[in-house]
Amino acid sequence: MEKTWRWFGKKDKITLTMLRQIGVEGIVTALHDIPNGEIWSFEAITDLKQYIESFGLRWSVVESLPVSEAIKYAGADRDQLIDNYKVSLANLGKAGVTTVCYNFMPVIDWIRTDLEYKWEDGASSLCYDSVKFAYFDCLILKRKGAEKDYTTEELAKVYALDKKITETEKEQLIDAIIVKTQGFVNGNIKEGDQNPVAIFNRLLKLYAGIDRNQLRENLKYFLTAIMPVCDEWNVSMCIHPDDPPRQVLGLPRIVTNEEDIAWLLNAVDNPHNGLTFCAGSLSSGIHNDVPDLAKKFAERTCFVHLRSANVLPDGNFIEAGHLEGRGHLIELVRIFENVNPSLPFRVDHGRLMLDDAEKGYNPGYSFHGRMFALAQMDGVMATVKDEINKGII
């Protein structure tokens, strides 16, 4: 598979020179300065592409060309926004950047409650604590009817937490869930925004009355509308699974398990309607058998995120090392190398280790942690290729 790396553009503290030295071949990036919904011009795309190429690298994948909320909830301006999206896709295709990762998660992209969960050796990773999340939902957002979504036992833990949580800890929780993890992925709330909770609550209201079926219909409408452009320019759309793969905050989530993925690929049965196989997101749902999903959907996978999670009995999960956890990444490399050896993959999040914590990287996107994981995956890939060459697998 092609070794790629998520790079956040010219302002990223991790430079392309550094990436070249650690064996990265392709770059995963986006035009992060363009607000959601606006057109990516051919000039802006080729400018960034040439910059990447001047370091001997290629722009392998766009992550992400964000889908505006109004497309997801079918607002009055959805057709205009879809038209803009089509122009951006055509411009990407003309420039030769033809793999586009996106997601269809309403309001909130990936969710974590702790950004520095400490390991015994002093490094840290990201994790999700369901009680803290329920606390955020019931007692910070104060979402109407939220309590219905939790068990009596969970609610008892929420109220116990309320007795001891400090104001600073509440701020940290808000920051982790809706600010620090969202802004840099072109999400709805950015660092420095005043009153993120109020902004977030306004966004949640946009989805009143939108259930799973309606959201599915809206995704199908979007994909059906853009496929002709994808066909013309050979652009592959690859949807990112929901992270975590479960319903949250009363919002529907529709890319959570085998049935969802099969529905989406069949609903618009076009090879340009594909999947980002994010092993991290999928492995954080105890219902998912990740290697089994990889076997079933490898043919429609256009991009792979190698990451793994450990799920605890209470449903909490911690991002695991790349050779551990429910993602079974070694097995995934075997599956994907066999089906399509030119598939781009990136190690998704890495641990915060060595001097990473002092650098202020985006959560999950450390340098040393990801470099370490890339080296591990590189070793796995070399072994698997050797096994394939010798006819062992």
Q: Is 352 helix (H, G, I), strand (E, B) or coil?
A: strand
The span from the CA of 180 to the CA of 283, in Å, is 23
Q: Does 369 bind ligand DNO (CB under 6 A)?
A: no
Q: Which residues contact 260 (CB under 8 A, 6 or more apart)?
A: 254
Distance between CA atoms of residues 354 and 317, nearest Å: 23
Binding segment for ligand DNO among 11-19, 68-76, 103-111, 332-340 (CB under 6 A)? 103-111
Q: Is 256 in the site for ligand DNO (CB under 6 A)?
A: no
Cβ proximity to ligand DNO: between 157 and 240 the closer is 240
Exposed e or buried b per residue across 106-118, where buried means at least 16 C-beta atoms within 10 angstroms of its C-beta: bbbbbbbbbbebe
The beta strand positions in 230-325, using DSSP E, are 236-239, 273-278, 301-306, 309-311, 317-319
Q: For 346, list phi and psi in degrees, rounded to 5.
A: -130, 145
Among 63, 69, 114, 129, contact with ligand DNO (rule: CB under 6 A): 63
Between strands 309-311 and 317-319, the pairing is: antiparallel
Degrees (nearest 5) of the Cα angle 7, 11, 16? 45
Identified binder of ligand DNO from the candidate list 59, 85, 110, 361, rule CB under 6 A:
110
Of 349, 356, 361, 368, catalytic: 349
Q: What's the closest the beta carbon of residue 222 comes to ligand DNO, in angstroms?
A: 14
Q: Is 102 in the site for ligand DNO (CB under 6 A)?
A: yes
Q: At 320, is the secondary structure helix, strand, or coil?
A: coil
- Answer whether 355's CB lies under 8 Å from 320's CB: no
By CB under 6 A, tell whether 319 contacts ligand DNO: no
Asked if 231 is an active-site residue, the reply is: no
Site for ligand DNO in 32-61 (CB under 6 A): none
Judged by CB under 6 A, the stretch of 46-54, 89-97, 102-110, 164-172 that binds ligand DNO is 102-110
Mark residues 64-83: x for contact with ligand DNO by CB under 6 A, - for none: x-------------------
Helix (H) or strand (E) holding 131: helix 130-135
Segment holding 70, helix H or strand E: helix 69-72
Task: Check residue 240 for interaction with ligand DNO (CB under 6 A).
Answer: yes
Q: Give yes or no: 150 in active site.
A: no
Quick one: 78 or 307, whose CB is closer to ligand DNO? Answer: 307
- Answer yes or no: 278 catalytic: yes
Instruction: Choose, from 127, 230, 238, 278, the residue flagged as catalytic.
Output: 278
Q: How far is the CB of 277 from ligand DNO (least distance, A)?
A: 12
Comparison of 335 and 347: residue with beta carbon closer to ligand DNO: 347
Smallest gap from residue 101 Cβ to ligand DNO (A): 5
Integer Cα distance of 371 and 384 in angstroms: 20
Residues of this chain, 205-234, that bind ligand DNO according to CB under 6 A: none
Which H helix or E strand runs over 346?
strand 344-347
- Evaluated on CA atoms 171, 176, 180, 185, the torsion sign reads negative
Among 100-108, 204-212, 324-332, 372-380, the segment contacting ligand DNO (CB under 6 A): 100-108
242 is catalytic: no
Give the C-alpha distances (Å, rounded to integers) separating 381 from 1, 126, 232, 316, 365.
8, 25, 33, 30, 22
Task: Judge if the upstream peptide bond of residue 64 is cis by omega within 30 degrees of 0.
Answer: yes
* Candidate list 109, 129, 260, 356; residue touching ligand DNO; CB under 6 A: 109
Q: How far is the CB of 319 from ligand DNO (least distance, A)?
A: 10
Closer to ligand DNO by Cβ: residue 158 or 215: 215
349 annotated active-site: yes
Q: Are 301 and 275 in contact (CB under 8 A)?
A: yes
Hey, which residues between 321 and 350 contact ligand DNO (CB under 6 A)? Answer: 348
For the question of residue 328 being annotated catalytic, the response is no
> Which residue out of 137, 348, 356, 361 is catalytically annotated?
348
Per annotation, catalytic residue among 272, 305, 328, 368: 305
Q: Which residues are catalytic?
A: 240, 278, 305, 348-349, 365
Task: Please give the residue ranges that form the binding site for ligand DNO (CB under 6 A).
Answer: 63-64, 101-103, 109-110, 185, 240, 348, 364
